[in-house]
Structure 1
């Protein structure tokens, strides 16, 4: 919905000029965008009926435009917008997608567009164990996760002296535990492990097999870190996606998800 600003002063009801600084805001109706003229390659994507399809193209070649036109064509063929899911990577891209689809099809007929993380959060939240979590899980921001990791690392030497931790970092890394650079490296290992679907035990077995004592320590640290964020009722972005994937692999959840949508469109897939 666009808004037009008129900078002229408002006329006074009795004919006198309104005081300076008065403005009139005029709401203009949304203008439905005319359809673009797709080329042959774009038409092949737009007319695709069913089954998976991967579209490869360079920057600025009209990938998002083709996606919007594909969605519009499906809705025009009688598809239910509520049964079409459009995913993209960033919040900004999701807002732009929603705006473009609304201009193309009208706000009432445009399907939902959301980010991967937002969709994963809704899925995890819908299946959250009410016995374990009285409040909804809260997403950790990047800076908050950095603070959590650094505090845990800084407390490792003291916890080890008291026998309260099972993390044993190699001697040549102990001096690094309180540095920002080391915390960044540990965060990267934790995130990559969860992206690959590795639990702490699987990461430890892999590290043991290739002879990496530092990764074995990282596996133990991952287990401790997950316990801490569970106790705090928070979750980071990598763990959020990991748990959503685990949920989607449950037969009953997979069946329900598959029955919810007739089509799923993914923009900016390379950013995943």
Structure 2
């Protein structure tokens, strides 16, 4: 029996609301999954169990934090269903057609309902770098890039805009709480953001923030929310502690009574502020419904030893507001975690390098040692120290594949061919051509914007001299 592999708490979460002999759409469920407690395995088993009990996989919406997580989840669900129903059952042919990130699912639904909300379904989507480039174009057009006092960079401007959108917070409060050094530019930032929104609409592009903002505004219409919510019997969300106010509002609009809604996460692991994520979403989830959502806590850890968990529990206990749990494991160890205090980042790098060499002298090979960082750029000081001491190392992380210049160039070609009004894609594409700089690219795009057939307009113009 596939459920026998689960511990009692995991099984309780998996079987919540399901009845023998058929499927049943239960009330809301919050699964508090402590670190290393088998969260992904539990969520995959819940989805598979729903399907085994008769739920239509095409009416299950599963949202995860990343596309990779969605893919891995779907693979696990398929394996479990194949184990129970047989590989030739055909049950997985259309399984989890609605599985992905909030942004990915939002993009699909916006295209489906585009005509009802007045959006051209042929819109293209800007990633963060594209959005920053468009912000920079607008910033330059408004003359803010040539001011005597240095105006915030395009990245900072985009970060301020994104935080205001995702946190649903007024600009003055965003500036006060997160960007106080930019508060003097409030008037100009308002003007910039208004022009940025207008530019996106003119060019028929959406940025990542729009995918959530438009979706939230769309389901604010009761009839549309009821229609979309009615397409799914079960709605499951992973890493709920890393969602923002927009995402929470979308869920509550789709399932206001919580029927079929399951969210999984851990308030103690709410360490990111990615896109204005707020721990209040998971803390307030149970009380968002009447009666309150059921809570199942996964506190058995399969990854660490008891001394490490004892230290983790002590830290978690200091939280002023939290869900009660006490992580435990059957894995014992006489070695305790060590807390080391250093003077600064350079001293920290020296300490780590010393320990690496000390461990090697004691028989631990270099490739069997690892240093973990919160973010890739935090490794700078240690990289310098390791290089200085001629200690070989391999860094995992850093620049993503889709952020590589040559990949961005190719995507710009495809996006511009699909949507000639996408000025950011056109601006990048033009400058790939020999002899074309920013000014020439701007003039060409201006001419194309006025032409009835934009892609044919450059054919009538002489090629610019090299170096122009």
- Whether TM-score is above 0.5 comes out as yes
2:126 to 126, 131, 140: 140
Mark the CA change 1:131 to 1:41 in structure 2 (over 3 Å): closer, same or farther. Answer: closer
**Could you tell me how far apart the structure 1 residues matched to 2:173 and 2:2 are?**
57
What is aligned with 2:6?
A: 38
TM-score (norm. length: structure 2): 0.43
What is aligned with 1:214?
A: 185
Structure 1 residue 271, shift from structure 2 partner: 3.3
Mark the CA change 1:206 to 1:175 in structure 2 (over 3 Å): closer, same or farther. Answer: closer
Is 1:265 aligned to 2:236, yes or no?
Answer: yes
What is aligned with 1:164?
A: none
Asked if the contact 1:90/1:115 (under 8 Å) is kept, the reply is yes
The correspondence of residues 94-113 of structure 1 with structure 2, limited to 5 A, is 94-106=70-82, 107-108=92-93, 110-112=95-97, 113=99
The correspondence of residues 94-243 of structure 1 with structure 2, limited to 5 A, is 94-106=70-82, 107-108=92-93, 110-112=95-97, 113-129=99-115, 136-157=122-143, 175-177=149-151, 182-197=153-168, 203=171, 212-243=183-214
| Cα offsets for 1:77-103 (capped at 9, x unmatched) | 221111111111211111111111111
| Cα offsets for 1:62-84 (capped at 9, x unmatched) | 11111111112212222111111
What is aligned with 2:42?
A: 66
**Could you tell me how far apart the structure 2 residues matched to 1:76 and 1:130 are?**
36
Structure 1 residue 34, shift from structure 2 partner: 5.5
Asked if the contact 1:146/1:184 (under 8 Å) is kept, the reply is yes
Asked if the contact 2:61/2:236 (under 8 Å) is kept, the reply is yes
**Could you tell me how far apart the structure 2 residues matched to 1:46 and 1:131 are?**
37
Q: How many pairs are equivalent?
A: 221
Unaligned runs of 5+ residues in structure 2 are 18-25, 83-91, 244-468
**Could you tell me how far apart the structure 1 residues matched to 2:191 and 2:172 are?**
7
Kindly indicate whether structure 1 or structure 2 has the higher relative contact order, using CA contacts under 8 Å at least 6 residues apart.
1
What CA RMSD, in Å, does the superposition of the two structures yield over aligned residues? 3.1
Mark the CA change 1:220 to 1:129 in structure 2 (over 3 Å): closer, same or farther. Answer: farther
Unaligned runs of 5+ residues in structure 1 are 1-32, 161-170
2:16 to 37, 48, 59: 48
